[in-house]
Each structure stands twice: as structure tokens, then as C-alpha cells.
Structure 1
Amino acid sequence: MDELAKKFFNDGRSFDLEGLKECMVRAYEYIDGVEEILCCLKQNNYEMHAFTNYPVWYQLIEDKLKLSKYLSWTFCSCLAGKRKPSTDFYLQAVDHLNVDPASCIFIDDRMANIDAALSVGMVGLHFKNAEVLRKDLCSLGVELSPHVNEDEVQVQ
């Protein structure tokens, strides 16, 4: 987080880093219905990875939401040195995973990022809300019904 403090303002002015972090943590929450989708995907053994332009503060999101119980923070621009929508970033992901791009479903709320995914051969879904995402995933044949007892994986 020291890196964030150094880079947050280009002119290097001082600010309340702890206050900023507290405000950010308070603001992060799951979008309605998304955690349930993540839980179903996890229960059905789909491999999931974060593909994000977040700087090091992705760690704040993890601390609050515990996303790593569903997915890996594999492709963070602050670690990879690349950013969406650079096609190099998408190709790096495919190479790292050693998969055919067509076997990857890329979900994002920005069309520019989806267009980049499509250009390298991935399937791209435009995130609007959980209900639309659930329908889009089902139309691709993705299994979203749970295969385990609800007690085994609980959504908090």
C-alpha cells in the first residue's frame, strides 16, 4: 500500500492514506447475485481467475470480500505489467493457462475489454447484472446448478 500512497496523486501531495483505505473497504461489496454465481461455478469445478486493472489495492478487495475462495488473483495488471484492453495481456493469460482462447469466457462491464478478448478468440460476455450474466452463461452451456449440499459451500 506504500506504493499506492506514493502514486495516488501525480504531484506527490500528502493525504490520509488510512482514511482512503477505510473508505474504499467500506465501499466494496458483492453486486447482488454475483456471489451466488461464483459459488455455483466453484461447486461445478470451473476454473476462475481475476483479470483486473486494479493496482495493489486489489488486496483490500480480497481482505473484504475473500474472492480467493472462488477465484485466483492470477491476472492483475499491477503484477503482470500489462492492462486491459491490451491484447498482449489477454494472450499472456492464455499462454499462462496453456489453454485454447475459445475455451475461456471473459466477463467484463466494459465493451472495449470484451472486444479485446474477442479479438484473441475468447468468448466475451458483457456484464450488466447477475440475472443477465446467469442467462448468458446458461446459454453457453455453463452448469450453474449446485452439485453439493448447501452446507458444504456457504455464501456469506
Structure 2
Amino acid sequence: MVSLLPRAPYLASIPKSTSSSSSALRPLCMSTTSAAAPTAAAAPAEAAPSRQRKLPVLLFDVMDTVVRDPFYHHIPAFFQMSMKELLESKHPTAWSEFEMGLIDENELAKKFFNDGRSFDLEGLKTCMVRAYEYVDGVEDILCNLKQNNYEVHAFTNYPVWYQLVEEKLKLSKYLSWTFCSCTIGKRKPSPDFYLHAVHHLNIDPASCIFIDDRMANIEAAFSVGMIGLHFTNAEVLKKDLCSLGVEFEHVHQGQMQVQ
């Protein structure tokens, strides 16, 4: 059984009287204003020995955490259906197969609906691109994390259309599209996806903060020893990150380090 107690290097500098507190050490899944705030220290970066790797590393879900998901409102409207009608008529696994890169968009178009009906695929993509926008307040958080030199990665269930999100919103200004289900071939909440991220980053899982709007995905992060934050809105997220010692001091643009 994997321990849920953080063992992260960035917690190593906490005095024993604080680090022994269970409230300070347990993984978080909600606002935690009462928890002791660990101090973020640095650990050696494997890729660049002359520099230090700033911890924690942050993994962000994308849809409905960073970017508004068009699925619940815009896509039913595009098909002129209610959500209930759409869920009843769409193929049960086609989208998840597309998310994992098992089928391409042409195959998706063929099997999106159970009855095989055709639809305007390019029109659907245009509808989705039009709907993509940042969740209120989250871009400011990402910008501040970037300015304070934190390592931030997408950790998302999404098909190759993540490239459409990038073209519209330029998320790569703030994070790396490192962990997308379509390129990794795994989906949340499979623990294998989380373990892949830990191994790829070569990091203790408790040095990762994972942010997602779905509790099932947060619980999967707990199962491999990550710290998890359940996203509800940007204000709560910022408070939760601060409670974990993440720095939000303003950095002038001229002071921002190019990574």
C-alpha cells in the first residue's frame, strides 16, 4: 500500500514540530487554510546540474480547470440536442478512444453516434475552438507560477485537438503539454498514467501537486502519493497553493527567467 504522507524534498526543511503534524502532511483535496504551510525549497535539477529544480512541480488538468470545456453546453447546441439526448445517442467509447489516440478524427466521425449518422466534423471543431476560453482567474495563477519559475505541466485526458486549444489560448506560455492522454495512451484516473508522470519527471510523487476538477482523479493521485487539490475556482486554488508554500510574490516582467 502506497503511503499518502508527503515525502517530498521540499518538505525536508520544515522543523520537526511542524512536520510531525498530520494536518500538515496529509495530501489535500480541498481548501486547507488551517494546515501548516511548508516552505518551498529547491532540489537539484537533473537536466541542468548548474541550476536548481524548484519544487513542487505542478500538474494541471486542463478542461474545466484551466480551460472551459465546451462539451456540456456548446456541443449539444451544435447538434441541436439536449445533453440527455446527446449522451443517449453518442457511442459509449468513441470519445475515450479518441482521447487515448486509438482512433483518429476521421474514425471518430464514423462512430461518434451509435447509429453511424454523419455530421459536420469541421463545423464541430470550429464550434469547440470558438468556445475555448480560460476559466476565470486561472491564467493569472499560471502566469504567476511561470514568473516564479515553477515547473508546470498539463496532465489531461484530451485528444489531439489539444492543439486547437493551444492555437487559441497559447497555454504553452505557462505550461508544457507533457502529459496528454492522446500521446501517452493512458487516461485518468488510471494509476498507470500518474506513475508514468512520476517516472518521466524523475521525482518523488509527494513533490507533485495535482489540480483537477474531478474528485475521482484527485483520489487516483492520492493513491500514488501525490498531493491533490480539488479545483472549484481560482480564488480557492490560490489559497490552497499558498497553504502548501507555493510562492505568489509578484515578479516584474524584466526579472522573469527564460526557461
TM-score by length of 1: 0.91
Structure 1 residues 47-58: aligned runs within 5 Å: 47-58=151-162
Whether the 8 Å CA contact 1:105–1:125 is kept in 2: the answer is: yes
Percent identity between the two aligned chains? 75
1:21 maps to a residue whose letter is K
CA shift, 1:24, in A, is 0.1
2:179 maps to 75
> Does structure 1 residue 5 correspond to structure 2 residue 106?
yes
CA shift at 1:7, angstroms?
A: 1.4
Cα deviation for residue 148 of structure 1 reads: 2.0
Please give the alpha-carbon distance, in whole angstroms, between the structure 2 residues aligned to 1:30 and 1:118: 27
Gaps of 5+ in 2: 1-97
How many residues align? The count is 153
State the distance in 1 between where 2:188 and 2:256 align: 35
Structure richer in helix, relative to its length: 1
Counterparts of residues 1-156 of structure 1 (less than 5 Å): 3-8=104-109, 9=112, 11=114, 12-149=116-253
Alignment partners' CA distance in 1, 2:155 and 2:106: 23
CA shift for structure 1 position 144: 1.4
Separation in 2, partners of 1:127, 1:78: 23
User: Aligned partners of 2:250, 2:219: CA distance in 1, in Å?
Assistant: 31
RMSD: 2.0
Shift of 1:150: 7.8
Structure exhibiting the larger radius of gyration computed from Cα positions: 2
1:151: Cα distance to partner? 9.9
Higher relative contact order (CA 8 A, sep 6+): 2
Q: Which runs of 4+ in 1 moved over 4 A?
A: 150-153
Partner deviation per Cα, 1:46-97 (whole Å, 9 max, x = no partner): 0011001101111111111100111111100111010000000000000000
Gapped regions of structure 1 (runs ≥ 5): none
| Letter matched to residue 133 of structure 2 | E
